[in-house]
Structure 1
Amino acid sequence: MLTLDLHPIYRNNRDIELSLRQTIFQAIRAGEPVVEIIPGKGTGQLKKRVLAFLGQKHIRKLYDHVETDVTNAGRVLVHFAPRP
Protein backbone atom coordinates (compact mmCIF):
# COMPACT_ATOMS: atom_id res chain seq x y z
CA MET A 1 0.00 0.00 0.00
CA LEU A 2 1.30 3.43 -0.95
CA THR A 3 0.95 6.19 1.62
CA LEU A 4 0.87 9.93 1.00
CA ASP A 5 1.19 12.15 4.07
CA LEU A 6 0.08 15.69 3.24
CA HIS A 7 1.19 17.25 6.54
CA PRO A 8 4.49 18.66 5.18
CA ILE A 9 2.80 20.45 2.24
CA TYR A 10 -0.63 21.33 3.61
CA ARG A 11 -0.27 25.05 2.80
CA ASN A 12 0.62 24.73 -0.88
CA ASN A 13 -2.36 23.89 -3.13
CA ARG A 14 -0.22 23.20 -6.20
CA ASP A 15 2.07 20.79 -4.31
CA ILE A 16 -0.94 19.00 -2.80
CA GLU A 17 -2.54 18.42 -6.19
CA LEU A 18 0.76 17.40 -7.78
CA SER A 19 1.48 14.92 -4.96
CA LEU A 20 -2.01 13.44 -5.19
CA ARG A 21 -1.75 13.06 -8.96
CA GLN A 22 1.75 11.52 -8.80
CA THR A 23 0.71 9.05 -6.10
CA ILE A 24 -2.42 7.96 -8.00
CA PHE A 25 -0.43 7.35 -11.19
CA GLN A 26 2.36 5.59 -9.27
CA ALA A 27 -0.22 3.24 -7.71
CA ILE A 28 -1.70 2.47 -11.12
CA ARG A 29 1.72 1.74 -12.64
CA ALA A 30 2.75 -0.46 -9.69
CA GLY A 31 -0.59 -2.27 -9.53
CA GLU A 32 -1.20 -1.21 -5.93
CA PRO A 33 -4.68 -2.11 -4.67
CA VAL A 34 -4.93 0.79 -2.17
CA VAL A 35 -3.44 4.24 -1.60
CA GLU A 36 -3.60 5.72 1.89
CA ILE A 37 -3.81 9.52 1.94
CA ILE A 38 -3.24 11.23 5.26
CA PRO A 39 -4.62 14.78 5.30
CA GLY A 40 -4.76 14.76 9.10
CA LYS A 41 -7.66 15.66 11.32
CA GLY A 42 -7.25 19.41 11.85
CA THR A 43 -10.21 21.50 10.73
CA GLY A 44 -11.11 19.09 7.93
CA GLN A 45 -10.35 21.57 5.15
CA LEU A 46 -7.44 19.56 3.73
CA LYS A 47 -9.55 16.40 3.72
CA LYS A 48 -12.27 18.29 1.83
CA ARG A 49 -9.68 19.39 -0.75
CA VAL A 50 -8.47 15.80 -1.14
CA LEU A 51 -12.02 14.51 -1.62
CA ALA A 52 -12.77 17.33 -4.11
CA PHE A 53 -9.63 16.42 -6.08
CA LEU A 54 -10.60 12.74 -6.09
CA GLY A 55 -14.13 13.65 -7.18
CA GLN A 56 -13.01 15.34 -10.41
CA LYS A 57 -14.37 13.48 -13.42
CA HIS A 58 -10.98 12.80 -15.04
CA ILE A 59 -9.51 11.54 -11.75
CA ARG A 60 -12.61 9.60 -10.69
CA LYS A 61 -12.30 7.19 -13.61
CA LEU A 62 -8.79 6.14 -12.50
CA TYR A 63 -9.87 4.35 -9.31
CA ASP A 64 -12.66 2.05 -8.10
CA HIS A 65 -13.83 3.77 -4.90
CA VAL A 66 -12.82 6.01 -1.99
CA GLU A 67 -13.23 5.08 1.64
CA THR A 68 -13.00 7.48 4.55
CA ASP A 69 -11.75 5.60 7.57
CA VAL A 70 -14.48 5.62 10.25
CA THR A 71 -11.94 4.93 13.02
CA ASN A 72 -9.52 7.65 11.87
CA ALA A 73 -10.98 10.87 10.43
CA GLY A 74 -7.53 11.94 9.20
CA ARG A 75 -7.19 9.11 6.71
CA VAL A 76 -8.63 8.50 3.21
CA LEU A 77 -8.23 5.20 1.35
CA VAL A 78 -8.38 5.09 -2.45
CA HIS A 79 -9.12 1.60 -3.81
CA PHE A 80 -8.17 0.48 -7.30
CA ALA A 81 -9.87 -2.29 -9.25
CA PRO A 82 -7.72 -5.40 -9.67
CA ARG A 83 -5.93 -5.50 -13.00
CA PRO A 84 -5.99 -8.72 -15.05
Structure 2
Amino acid sequence: MITVDLHPIFRNNRDIELALRQALFRAAATGEPVLELIPGKGSGKLKARVIAFLGQPHVKRLYDRFEVDPENGGRILVHLRASA
Protein backbone atom coordinates (compact mmCIF):
# COMPACT_ATOMS: atom_id res chain seq x y z
CA MET A 1 0.00 0.00 0.00
CA ILE A 2 1.29 3.44 -0.90
CA THR A 3 0.80 6.00 1.86
CA VAL A 4 0.86 9.78 1.48
CA ASP A 5 1.02 11.87 4.65
CA LEU A 6 -0.15 15.38 3.79
CA HIS A 7 0.70 16.94 7.16
CA PRO A 8 4.08 18.38 6.06
CA ILE A 9 2.59 20.21 3.05
CA PHE A 10 -0.87 21.16 4.31
CA ARG A 11 -0.37 24.90 3.66
CA ASN A 12 0.58 24.67 -0.01
CA ASN A 13 -2.28 23.82 -2.40
CA ARG A 14 0.05 23.22 -5.36
CA ASP A 15 2.19 20.76 -3.37
CA ILE A 16 -0.92 18.98 -2.09
CA GLU A 17 -2.32 18.52 -5.60
CA LEU A 18 1.07 17.40 -6.94
CA ALA A 19 1.55 14.85 -4.12
CA LEU A 20 -1.96 13.46 -4.63
CA ARG A 21 -1.59 13.26 -8.40
CA GLN A 22 1.83 11.57 -8.23
CA ALA A 23 0.70 9.04 -5.62
CA LEU A 24 -2.48 8.18 -7.49
CA PHE A 25 -0.72 7.70 -10.82
CA ARG A 26 2.10 5.71 -9.18
CA ALA A 27 -0.39 3.44 -7.39
CA ALA A 28 -2.40 2.91 -10.59
CA ALA A 29 0.74 2.19 -12.63
CA THR A 30 2.12 -0.34 -10.14
CA GLY A 31 -1.18 -2.14 -9.62
CA GLU A 32 -1.57 -1.20 -5.95
CA PRO A 33 -5.10 -2.07 -4.81
CA VAL A 34 -5.33 0.70 -2.19
CA LEU A 35 -3.81 4.15 -1.76
CA GLU A 36 -3.76 5.53 1.79
CA LEU A 37 -4.05 9.31 2.12
CA ILE A 38 -3.51 10.93 5.51
CA PRO A 39 -4.89 14.47 5.67
CA GLY A 40 -5.32 14.20 9.44
CA LYS A 41 -8.32 15.21 11.49
CA GLY A 42 -7.65 18.87 12.31
CA SER A 43 -10.28 21.35 11.14
CA GLY A 44 -11.31 19.14 8.22
CA LYS A 45 -10.23 21.60 5.52
CA LEU A 46 -7.41 19.43 4.20
CA LYS A 47 -9.66 16.36 4.14
CA ALA A 48 -12.26 18.37 2.20
CA ARG A 49 -9.55 19.46 -0.25
CA VAL A 50 -8.50 15.82 -0.79
CA ILE A 51 -12.11 14.73 -1.33
CA ALA A 52 -12.62 17.58 -3.83
CA PHE A 53 -9.49 16.44 -5.70
CA LEU A 54 -10.79 12.87 -5.79
CA GLY A 55 -14.11 14.13 -7.18
CA GLN A 56 -12.58 15.54 -10.36
CA PRO A 57 -13.77 13.58 -13.43
CA HIS A 58 -10.27 12.84 -14.78
CA VAL A 59 -9.19 11.55 -11.36
CA LYS A 60 -12.33 9.44 -10.80
CA ARG A 61 -11.37 7.30 -13.79
CA LEU A 62 -8.41 5.90 -11.84
CA TYR A 63 -10.28 4.44 -8.88
CA ASP A 64 -13.44 2.52 -8.03
CA ARG A 65 -14.26 4.21 -4.73
CA PHE A 66 -12.79 5.93 -1.72
CA GLU A 67 -13.76 5.85 1.92
CA VAL A 68 -12.89 7.69 5.08
CA ASP A 69 -11.53 5.10 7.51
CA PRO A 70 -14.37 4.48 10.00
CA GLU A 71 -11.87 3.98 12.83
CA ASN A 72 -9.67 6.97 11.93
CA GLY A 73 -11.37 10.01 10.39
CA GLY A 74 -7.97 11.44 9.41
CA ARG A 75 -7.32 8.66 6.90
CA ILE A 76 -8.79 8.18 3.42
CA LEU A 77 -8.50 4.88 1.56
CA VAL A 78 -8.71 5.03 -2.23
CA HIS A 79 -9.57 1.69 -3.85
CA LEU A 80 -8.00 1.64 -7.28
CA ARG A 81 -9.32 -0.07 -10.38
CA ALA A 82 -7.93 -3.52 -11.04
CA SER A 83 -5.58 -3.68 -14.01
CA ALA A 84 -7.02 -5.52 -16.97
Q: Same fold (TM over 0.5)?
A: yes
Counterpart mapping for 1:57-72 below 5 A: 57-72=57-72
Q: Note the alpha carbon deviations across 1:4-40, whole angstroms, 9 max, x for none.
A: 0000000000000000000000001110000000000
Structure 1 CA distance for aligned equivalents of residues 83 and 30 of structure 2: 11
Q: Secondary structure at the match of 1:46?
A: helix
Per the TM alignment, residue 82 of structure 1 is displaced from its structure 2 partner at its CA by 1.8
Counterpart mapping for 1:35-50 below 5 A: 35-50=35-50
Structure 1 CA distance for aligned equivalents of residues 82 and 21 of structure 2: 19
Structure 2 CA distance for aligned equivalents of residues 38 and 60 of structure 1: 19
What TM-score do you get using the length of structure 1 for normalisation?
0.97
Unaligned runs of 5+ in 1: none
RMSD: 0.6
Question: Percent identity over the alignment?
Answer: 62
Q: Is 2:62–2:81's contact at 8 Å kept on the other side of the alignment?
A: no
Structure 2 CA distance for aligned equivalents of residues 66 and 35 of structure 1: 9
Moved over 3 A (4+): none
What TM-score do you get using the length of structure 2 for normalisation?
0.97
Per the TM alignment, residue 81 of structure 1 is displaced from its structure 2 partner at its CA by 2.1
